[in-house]
Amino acid sequence: MNFAFLRDAPPRSNGRSVAVIGAGPSGLAATGFLAGLGYKVRVFDKLPKAGGLMVFGIPAERIPEQSIAAGVKRLEQDFGVEFKLRTKICGSDAMHEDTGDHFSSDLTSLGELTRDHDAVIICTGSWRPRKMNIPGEDLPGVYSGLEFLFPIRAAGYDSQKLKAVDVTDKTVLVIGAGFSAVDVALAAQAHGAAQVKMLYRRTRHEAPCGIHDVCTMEDAGCEMAELVTPVRVLGTDRVTGVEVVQCQLGEPDASGRRCSLPDSCAKAEMDADIVVAAIGEIAAPPFAEELGLDKVRKNEVHWLHMTKLPGVFVAGDALTGPSKIGKAVYSGLKAAKSLAAWLSLKAEDREDEYSDDEVITPQDWHSGPLETPAAKGSE
C-alpha cells in the first residue's frame, strides 16, 4: 500500500508539522497525502506496529502484512515521517477500555500535540466492542469479534501480554454474519475448535458477508444457524451456552433487507464453551465530547473535517463509525486536504474563508443512481 501514491519523491519541506493520531488506513492515507505536500508528519499509534486493523484485525490471509509494511517503510525512509508507536493519546477516558490498549506504555495528551504541531488529525478508528445488551454477556468466555481476532495477530508482538483465545476442542458460537464473524469462525476452525457455529438472526441470503463467504465457511467445516437471535448468555462463573429465540423474516427495513422478527415463545438453548459476538465495534475518539464527536454513529453520513477545536481534524471510523478500508482511506485523504487548505488560509489570515461542513450524501459514498439498494454492501 503506497500511502504516498501522489508522488515518486518527497517535495521540499513546507515548514509545517502535523500530528496524526492512529496509524490505520485513514491515518496512513492522510499521512501519505500530507508528507507528499512537504509537511513534517508525526504518527502516533497505541500498537507496536503501524497498520491498525489492517494488521491487527483482518487476517493476514486477506491482507498481506508485507503490503502495509512496505508502504509504511516508504513513508518513514523516503518521506521522513516519524512513527511514535505504543503511544496512546488520552482523553478523559480511562485506559484499557478499548481492544488493543495493552501495548501502550507512553501517554501523550491531545493538548501537548496541538501545542507542538500546526494541526492534528484524529484517526483513531473504532476499537470499542459493541455490546449485545443481553444478560450474561460479561461472563468469562464471551468475547467481541475484535477481542477474539486481535490477540491472534498481536500475540506475535508480545506473547507475555497477550495470548490468542484457546479454542482447542471447544464449541465456539459466533454471533453475527459480517466479514469479521466469518474471520472469527474460520480462525476458530483453523485453531482446532471442536465445533464452530455461526448464529444469525436473518438467513444466509441476507448475510452481510454474502452467501459466497457463508459457503466458504461451511466448506471449512463451520455451521450456520439461521433465524436465531441470542437473548441470554448462560453460565454462572463461565459461559456454558446461549439461550436463543427463533426468528422469522418480516418486511424489508431501511437497509433494504428483510428484518428479523423474534418469536419470544420459541426458545432453545445451545451449548458453548466460547461465545464471540462479532457484531461490530464502535468509535471511541479521545475528547469525543469536547470535539463534538460524541454523537457519531454507525452509518451516520455526515462530513466534518475540523472539530470544535481549531486545528484538530478527524477522519475515518472515528468520524463515521465502522465502515470499510476504502471509506476510511477516502475520509483520511479528504480530511488531510481540508487540513492543508485550512493551514494555508490561516497563514494568510483568511480562516473565515474556510468552509468545513461539506455535506456528504449517500450518493458520494456509493456510485450514484446506477446502484440498486441490493448492491450497497455497507454493514
Partner 1 sequence: MAGHKTIYIDYSRCIGCETCEAVCRFTHGLPRVNMTRAKDGVMMPLYCRHCETPYCVRACPRGALLKGREGEVLLEPALCEGCETKNCLLACPYGGIFMTMMTEAMVKCDLCLSRRAVGLGPACVEMCPCGAMFYADPDEIAELHTDFAQAAEKRVLAHIRPKVK
User: How far is the CA of 58 from the CAs of 61, 71, 170, 297, 317, in angstroms?
Assistant: 8, 17, 23, 22, 15
Picking from 110, 115, 50, 131, the residue whose alpha carbon sits closest to that of residue 84 is 50
Cα angle at 277 between 186 and 242, to 5 degrees?
Answer: 105
- Examine residue 367 and tell whether it contacts partner 1 (CB under 8 A): yes
Beta bridge pairs of residue 224: 198
Beta bridge pairs of residue 262: 247
The single residue among 30, 43, 68, 80 that binds partner 1, judged by CB under 8 A, is: 68
User: How far is the CA of 190 from the CAs of 148, 151, 327, in angstroms?
Assistant: 14, 15, 30
Stretch that binds partner 1, among 64-72, 101-109, 135-143, 314-322 (CB under 8 A): 64-72
Strand pairing class (258-271; 241-252): antiparallel
- Examine residue 8 and tell whether it contacts partner 1 (CB under 8 A): yes
Alpha helices in the chain (DSSP H): 25-35, 53-56, 65-77, 110-116, 145-154, 179-190, 211-219, 288-291, 317-320, 325-347, 362-365
Smaller CB distance to partner 1: residue 1 or 172?
1
Residues 157-216 binding partner 1 (CB under 8 A) are 179, 207-214
Stretch that binds partner 1, among 76-84, 156-164, 304-312, 362-370 (CB under 8 A): 362-370
Please state, in angstroms and rounded to a whole number, the distance separating the CA atoms of residues 130 and 127: 9
Please state, in angstroms and rounded to a whole number, the distance separating the CA atoms of residues 24 and 329: 9
Smaller CB distance to partner 1: residue 254 or 370?
370
Site map 206..235 versus partner 1, x via CB under 8 A: -xxxxxxxx---------------------
Minimum CB–partner distance for residue 66 and partner 1 (Å): 8
Minimum CB–partner distance for residue 122 and partner 1 (Å): 19
Number of residues that bind partner 1 (CB under 8 A): 43
- Examine residue 334 and tell whether it contacts partner 1 (CB under 8 A): yes
Stretch that binds partner 1, among 6-14, 101-109, 137-145, 156-164 (CB under 8 A): 6-14
Q: Three cell numbers at 38?
A: 512537504
Residues 237-266 binding partner 1 (CB under 8 A) are none
The single residue among 325, 339, 340, 343 that binds partner 1, judged by CB under 8 A, is: 325
For residues 342 and 348, is the Cβ–Cβ distance under 8 A? no
- Examine residue 368 and tell whether it contacts partner 1 (CB under 8 A): yes
Beta bridge pairs of residue 119: 18
Smaller CB distance to partner 1: residue 232 or 324?
324
Smaller CB distance to partner 1: residue 34 or 68?
68
For residues 134 and 230, is the Cβ–Cβ distance under 8 A? yes
The single residue among 13, 67, 105, 355 that binds partner 1, judged by CB under 8 A, is: 67
The single residue among 38, 63, 243, 309 that binds partner 1, judged by CB under 8 A, is: 63
* Residues in contact with partner 1 by the rule CB under 8 A: 1-3, 5-8, 25, 29, 54, 58, 62-64, 66-68, 179, 207-214, 324-327, 329-330, 333-334, 367-371, 374-377
